[in-house]
Structure 1
Amino acid sequence: MSPDRRLRPVWADASPAPGAAPVQLTLDDVGTPLSDVTFVVVDLETTGGTPADCEITEIGAVKVRGGEVLGEFQTLVDPGGPVPPYIQVLTGITTAMLVGAPRIETVLPSFLEFARDSVLVAHNAPFDIGFLKAAAARTGHTWPGNKVLDTVRLARRAVTRDEVPNHKLSSLAALFGASVTPNHRALSDARATVDVLHALLGRLGPLGVTHLEDLATATDPVPADVRRKRTLADGLPDAPGVYLFRGPHEEVLYVGTSTTSLRTRVRSYFTSAEKRQRITEMVRIAHRVDPVVCATPLEARVRELRLIAEHSPRYNRRSRFPERMPWVRLTSEPFPRLSVVRDVRDEDGAAYIGPFSSSASAQLALDALHESFPVRQCTRRLPLVAPAGAAACVLAELGRCGAPCLGQQSVDAYAAVVERVRTAMSSDPAEVVAAHAERITWLVRQERFEEAATVRDRLAAYLRGASRAQRVAPLSRCPELVAARRTDDGGWELVLVRHGRLAGTARVDRRTDPRPVVTALQASGEHVAAPPSPAPAAHPEETDLLLAWLDKPGVRLVEVAGGWSMPARSAVAVVDPAAAVAGAARHAQVDPAGDQGGGTTHRPHLSLVAPAPSTA
């Protein structure tokens, strides 16, 4: 690169517009314009990644000011030992190339003189500056304490992931059309970093980064406009609850919860602890935070779910539409079948598992049931008497269906198969687990590991759906449940649940008799109509929260109306699908790994561990 090369970035010619009225600058506005700052852009090549046990092999640096290159510095450095082979491949610097090169104790004084009174710039500055400081300490030189600028941190502020997949030097150089392509040689990479630096400062200029002093906050993880919003947390209560960020038109932008202190939680959005880019964008838009104080942490979590479902804030990523969550249904008809549906109906003879997080998961669970039972898979409603001219499907020809469509299977015979399906969905997963254990064992012995993993995923989806339905259904059928749990201060946290929905909650201190509060809670609690089982009368995630709270140690049942129980052999007892497969394989006296001796073969690990004891 020739010294007379001219790079005139946007910030290099910052001057008042012609005819503009003069403005008296404040003390905060007085500083060194970036066009007057001397930058030394440096890049190193080394024998490894840490200065404690690795050495510098090459230094390259470019001195620029006001977009003009003032000089360059480049030298190889003898590391005092061989260059590792992978470093030679990466950089092209071989051990032979460094024979006769100066040692770092000779090179470092020259570089420090070259960089004197300048701002050091590097891409991933902690790496390069860390090696230079370590070299100065080893050779007895005093580190001059230059200001340091990291172009990686600048890029994170000025370049979005929509523009580049990452903030590597090569990606940024390609984005900005750098005149030099980085090639892991020190001077070339330093030249490319110069172009990237100028492009980044050009982008940051309109944001107010026009002076050297502005660079101190240009890479601050908390932008100034976000930090100024910290006053939104002033006056919020120091109590558990829910907070709503509202936009300029009173729309709800985001709903969050705090189980301890609303004020402390909201304040965290204006500190470096908040690293989510979308939330930072939300904070910039927000103009008010509304608190909703809750009696207990459980109430706060439940209210958060309800407010998200009510307002559908665009910055919340949690499930907002419970009515869209799919279920697997066993239909109610003379010849029932399995299907994926979006709602639960109150109909005799139907059975459900779910809800599932996605249609794909529901389909996997349905496939697991089809794999385990010879139930029909056609979608039309079959009459009691098969029509003339009906033809069998491929599944009937393969023996996977009794062909009730042809009259080859009576209603009673088909009902016996359906009853096994109903049992697997509502109480006992053993038959499904056994069928999948046999299939996985056979596939592993054939070394068809990808297919075995697919079968395992089907079983896991079925167990998740069945377990969720079998946990939720008893609570959704329960008209009223009152439970209590000791708090840390010796008081009681009281919870009223009706049909799987939080109907009320209260908290009493240790000096107050909780029984009158329980009576008042039952009298004033929300009236909840019975839903079609197994669906709860609330968002499924709300019922999951209630079940998790009821499972906590120390929770006591005060009153239960109508009973609350689960089958002892339910899918809830199967905490690990792979463990269930292993247990079924051992029970059948087969080896789930399929190892038949005769040498060793690499096999994927399927996490086949011993099943956990049932607590149901």
Structure 2
Amino acid sequence: MAPTLLGTAPGGRLPLDDVTRAAAGTGRPVQLGLEEIGTPLHEVTFVVVDLETTGGGPTSSEITEIGAVKVRGGEVLGEFQTLVNPGVAIPPQITVLTGITTSMVVAAPPVSEVLPAFLEFAGLAVAGRPETVLVAHNASFDVSFLRHATDRMDLRWPSPQVLDTVALARRVVTRDEAPNHRLGTLASLFRSPVTPDHRALTDARATVDVLHGLLDRAAPLGVTHLEDLRTATDPVPPRRRRKATLADGLPETPGVYQFLGPNRDVLYVGTATNLRRRVRQYFTAGEKRRRIGEMLDIAVEVRPVPCATVLEAQVRELRLIAEIDPPYNRRSRRPQRRPWLRLTDEAFPRLSVVRRVPADDVGEALGPFTTQRAATAAMEALQEVSPVRRCTPRLPVTPRPGASPCALAELDRCGAPCVGGQDTDDYATAIAPARQALRAQVDRAVAALHGKIAQLAGQERFEEAATQRDRLLALLQGARRAERLRPVLANPEIVAARRHESGGWEIVLVRFGRLAGTAVAGRGQDPLPVIEALRAGAEVVPPPEAACGAAPVEETDLVVTWLFQPGVRLVRVEDAPVPLACPVRGAARHNLPAGRRRDHG
């Protein structure tokens, strides 16, 4: 497969093509095959089953009869019927209801013989996920008995897809048409030639006619394929379910999808490992977000951007959201404004929350944090364990005449360099714990904060202890993130590979924390020529002037997550000021404090 290049459009933006692509970056329109659309219902094999039992629950009752009909495309493929010896007497009220007596089942086979035969008939005895759809009227009742019987026999329940005709009837049959959803009532409504009589095969035959009638009703609501049945009974507005056809024709590959409005404006951008399946999910009861529901009612089209890998899809999504600013996406619109924590560049530096860190100083800063509050909490943590000055004026090396110390100096919380209490060397020594922590060497800071928390808790000053705990949490999460990102942000080029699910290799090229390109080497293909082609044609990323200047931090986070997952192999790593490694005694080895887990990082 040809390499996929990201950011090759002018200005590093991604082109927004209307054409469905066979693989991201190929530029070739393709005609999707029927297998990519789904399995039409007329090709699905349904096994409609009905049980008669001695009572209402599988733990206290037994099966007395099994009846089933196998159908596909409206044609009956076979029938299965047998009485079952329950091993107990049949209660009189059950005999009155079903007509089955104890004498009738004495010579019948036990369920241990009947169940394997039924599973074989239904196509549920083979290994793997069965393609048969099991149908029953009030399916939870029949399935519970079948599952209980398989458990008792130490058989594996095949977990087929189950369709309950009662639940489907509640979606498509109104009270004006039928007073209830009993099998007899629905069989009459759909003019079944079979009258249910509480015998298993007769009731299964009637259920077949009900099933066909219900599916005819459901088709205009978008229930036309096997995949639609999984959500056919969801309480989704009909107008929205009908729009599930927007997913027809989408490929079953990783990629980005864009919901378009009437004027072809992009309403929402998302990413998926399987485009068609993910888009279909929006039209089920699983989608409960009010804003997204509003968006779906407006949308008229879905534009796919297939990608070679999931990582590429995730990065493309971030870039498209930043470029287009869709009205229904709620992700960060200003990722470049994330705060950092560092020391100011002056004779007597102080801690400062800043929006920009020079690329050369990334090893002396924590972050970026998700919020200003998180960065401030981490700063307060370091101020607790280090006598770094907190005043904001820029101090000269020689104190100004008439300068006076602040209250913190009087409390021995500051060395008062403003009045000559410390020279630059003394001050640098005093704030060494803070500088170490900014390099993600947080052992001393963590020990000191743990000591303060324990002291406050021992004095039953629990609110103050909780404040210190939250500051420690912010510091650790900021240090962990800095430690995780620095090696990738500082590296001019990283090439890595991992086994692709197809058997080949998924290859990623990263430059200064930006995904510059991806490729997939197919099964049996030599990956080295693919890597060289990828390197030659990938996006050129000049050294950035600021940390996270080549890509938003969210993109670098995705890249780092991919790089550090099991099975990834480093192919090429250029020399960089920060080695690509996880320090043994780094911030990541410290457990986060228990309690409220605010998102500080």
Report the alpha carbon displacement of residue 403 of structure 1 after superposing the two structures with TM: 0.8
Distance 2:301 2:362 in 1: 51
Q: Are residue 574 (structure 1) and residue 585 (structure 2) matched?
A: no
Give 1:240's aligned residue.
254
Q: Report the CA distance shift for 1:498/1:356 in structure 2 as closer, same or farther (over 3 A).
A: same
Provide, for residues 275-321 of structure 1, a one-character-per-residue CA deviation record: whole Å limited to 9, x for no partner.
21111101111122111111101111111111112222221222221
Give 1:379's aligned residue.
392
Partner of residue 221 from structure 1, selected from 235, 253, 265? 235
Distance 2:377 2:362 in 1: 23
Distance 1:353 1:407 in 2: 30
Report the alpha carbon displacement of residue 533 of structure 1 after superposing the two structures with TM: 6.0
Q: Is the 8 A contact 2:342 2:438 kept in 1?
A: no
Provide, for residues 24-47 of structure 1, a one-character-per-residue CA deviation record: whole Å limited to 9, x for no partner.
xxxxxxxxxxxxxxxxxxxxxxxx
Give 2:472's aligned residue.
459
Report the alpha carbon displacement of residue 535 of structure 1 after superposing the two structures with TM: 3.2
Q: Is the 8 A contact 1:536 1:543 kept in 2?
A: no
Q: Are residue 423 (structure 1) and residue 439 (structure 2) matched?
A: no
AA aligned to 1:292 is V
Provide, for residues 505-552 of structure 1, a one-character-per-residue CA deviation record: whole Å limited to 9, x for no partner.
111221211010000111111111222464362111111111111111
AA aligned to 1:457 is D
Q: Is the 8 A contact 2:359 2:547 kept in 1?
A: no
Secondary structure (helix, strand or coil) at the match of 2:282 reads helix
Q: Is the 8 A contact 1:427 1:570 kept in 2?
A: yes
AA aligned to 1:527 is V
Q: Are residue 288 (structure 1) and residue 301 (structure 2) matched?
A: yes
Give 2:222's aligned residue.
none
Provide, for residues 313-339 of structure 1, a one-character-per-residue CA deviation record: whole Å limited to 9, x for no partner.
221222221122111121111111111
Provide, for residues 478-499 of structure 1, a one-character-per-residue CA deviation record: whole Å limited to 9, x for no partner.
1101111012332111010111
Q: Percent identity?
A: 56
Report the alpha carbon displacement of residue 354 of structure 1 after superposing the two structures with TM: 0.7
Give 2:267's aligned residue.
253
Distance 2:478 2:418 in 1: 29
Secondary structure (helix, strand or coil) at the match of 2:494 reads strand
Secondary structure (helix, strand or coil) at the match of 2:572 reads strand
Pairs aligned (count): 366
Secondary structure (helix, strand or coil) at the match of 2:392 reads coil
Distance 1:394 1:504 in 2: 56
Between stretches 393-402 and 345-354, larger displacement belongs to 345-354
Report the alpha carbon displacement of residue 606 of structure 1 after superposing the two structures with TM: 9.1
Distance 1:418 1:230 in 2: 61
Report the alpha carbon displacement of residue 442 of structure 1 after superposing the two structures with TM: 0.5
Q: Are residue 370 (structure 1) and residue 383 (structure 2) matched?
A: yes
Q: Report the CA distance shift for 1:321/1:550 in structure 2 as closer, same or farther (over 3 A).
A: same
Distance 1:312 1:298 in 2: 21
Provide, for residues 332-384 of structure 1, a one-character-per-residue CA deviation record: whole Å limited to 9, x for no partner.
11111111112223576983111111111111101001111000111111111
Q: Report the CA distance shift for 1:416/1:533 in structure 2 as closer, same or farther (over 3 A).
A: farther
RMSD value, Cα: 2.4
AA aligned to 1:458 is R
Distance 1:408 1:238 in 2: 69
Q: Is the 8 A contact 1:473 1:536 kept in 2?
A: no
Give 1:270's aligned residue.
283
Partner of residue 440 from structure 1, selected from 443, 446, 453? 453
Secondary structure (helix, strand or coil) at the match of 1:384 reads coil
Give 1:413's aligned residue.
426
AA aligned to 1:441 is A
Distance 2:440 2:355 in 1: 22
Secondary structure (helix, strand or coil) at the match of 1:443 reads helix
Q: Report the CA distance shift for 1:531/1:567 in structure 2 as closer, same or farther (over 3 A).
A: farther
Report the alpha carbon displacement of residue 149 of structure 1 after superposing the two structures with TM: 11
Q: Is the 8 A contact 2:505 2:521 kept in 1?
A: yes
Give 1:495's aligned residue.
508
Distance 1:308 1:400 in 2: 46
AA aligned to 2:297 is R
Distance 2:335 2:370 in 1: 10
Q: Normalized against structure 1, the TM-score is what?
A: 0.57
Q: Report the CA distance shift for 1:289/1:493 in structure 2 as closer, same or farther (over 3 A).
A: same
Distance 2:241 2:416 in 1: 69
AA aligned to 1:484 is A
Distance 2:497 2:574 in 1: 15
Report the alpha carbon displacement of residue 273 of structure 1 after superposing the two structures with TM: 2.1
Q: Is the 8 A contact 2:387 2:414 kept in 1?
A: yes
Q: Are residue 352 (structure 1) and residue 397 (structure 2) matched?
A: no
Q: Is the 8 A contact 1:469 1:534 kept in 2?
A: no
Q: Report the CA distance shift for 1:454/1:348 in structure 2 as closer, same or farther (over 3 A).
A: closer
Q: Is the 8 A contact 1:478 1:561 kept in 2?
A: yes
Q: Are residue 326 (structure 1) and residue 339 (structure 2) matched?
A: yes
Q: Report the CA distance shift for 1:349/1:529 in structure 2 as closer, same or farther (over 3 A).
A: closer
Give 1:172's aligned residue.
none
Distance 1:349 1:316 in 2: 30
Report the alpha carbon displacement of residue 250 of structure 1 after superposing the two structures with TM: 3.0
Secondary structure (helix, strand or coil) at the match of 1:558 reads strand
Q: Is the 8 A contact 1:336 1:418 kept in 2?
A: no
Q: Normalized against structure 2, the TM-score is what?
A: 0.58
AA aligned to 1:240 is P
Give 2:544's aligned residue.
531
